[in-house]
A and B are shown apart, each in its own frame.
Chain A
Amino acid sequence: MENLTLDETKYTPLIELDAAKGVIALTGKSYPENTFEFYKPMMEWMAEYFRTVAKDVTVINLEIIYFNSSSSKLFFDFFDLLDEVKDDHKLDINWIYDEENENAEEAGEDFIEDFEDLPIKLIVKEE
């Protein structure tokens, strides 16, 4: 399976999907105009990855500085997808945020409460 990388823009995060390493990473801001269209290739890649070549452990790193409400919905669907595969795959999920970014921390806490069966860890970013 091919890896998928989307470069960071001023309003979309760096997206790194590495099938060989088993890493799914999003880093940056997220406020695209058509959020679901923008993230469609990522969501399709993830579904395909877990159906076919998923590693023993998949590491998921999310470091989103701020995001719009449609991205919030998209990330909900993202965790929902992980929730559906969690019984068959070992997941190591990290919600990474800057110490001063209380909103990002709270967003992570909300996802932990919404997906209590997912092993989501809150990680304060190293300086």
Chain B
Amino acid sequence: MMDVSKLQAILENDGIVFLSYGGFLTQSLIVGMTEALEKETETAAINMKTANNIYTIFIELSQNMMTYSLSPEEGEQRSDANGLILVGKQQDDSYYLLSQNVMGLEGKEKLEKKLQGILETDLAGIKKLYREARRSGKDTHSKGGGIGFYEIAKRCQSIEFDFKPLNNDKFTFKFKANI
């Protein structure tokens, strides 16, 4: 039998988990989970700014994962059941979002460069990058490609990320946004 106590311990050590989901993502699931987050932030009387940051980052991360897992760019319609997304509250009462999914080498290199750039840039700089990318990307990225992580960075205190090599040029991408 699955050891539920381990999961319990994780939840207790890491504070309150509002929402966690692992598996295939669809738009209707994302909408449902966003609705659940709205209810929870309402119940917890979280201020509107923080609440909006939580929804926006959640939507960006989950739609990224959904779009990615449907992309056939690796020559295969890869179903990404390894995807994981979590919204939680740390012991210092701050909120965080965590996501994990599998990426190919090309995607990894592009994203790693972008995230590294974000780490080296202050908030004013990130806002500038966001607007430049939005302006230059007119009509070219129907999925919004490119500005999503700037949007996330604008809305949180800090980001953490890690690419762990799997096999066949695949990587597990872990991302955390501390609000």
Residues of B within 8 A of A (CB): 27, 30-31, 34-35, 47-49, 52-53, 55-56, 59-60, 63, 66, 127, 131, 134-135, 137-139, 141-144, 147-148, 150-151, 155
Q: Of B27, B55, B137, which one neighbours A73 at CB under 8 angstroms?
A: B137
Query: Which residues of the other chain, A, contact B27 by a CB distance below 8 angstroms?
Result: 11, 32-33
Q: Mark A74-97, 1 if CB is under 8 A from B, else 0.
A: 001100100000000000000000
Q: Of A11, A34, A66, A77, which one neighbours B56 at CB under 8 angstroms?
A: A66
CA distance A114 to B131 in the complex (A): 8
Q: Of A67, A70, A98, A114, which one neighbours B143 at CB under 8 angstroms?
A: A70
CA distance A111 to B120 in the complex (A): 26
Give the nearest-CB partner of A34 in chain B: B142
Q: Of A10, A11, A35, A98, which one neighbours B144 at CB under 8 angstroms?
A: A35
Known: A73-B144, A76-B134. A31 touches B52 (CB 8 A): no
Q: Of B30, B31, B52, which one neighbours A66 at CB under 8 angstroms?
A: B52
B151 touches A76 (CB 8 A): no
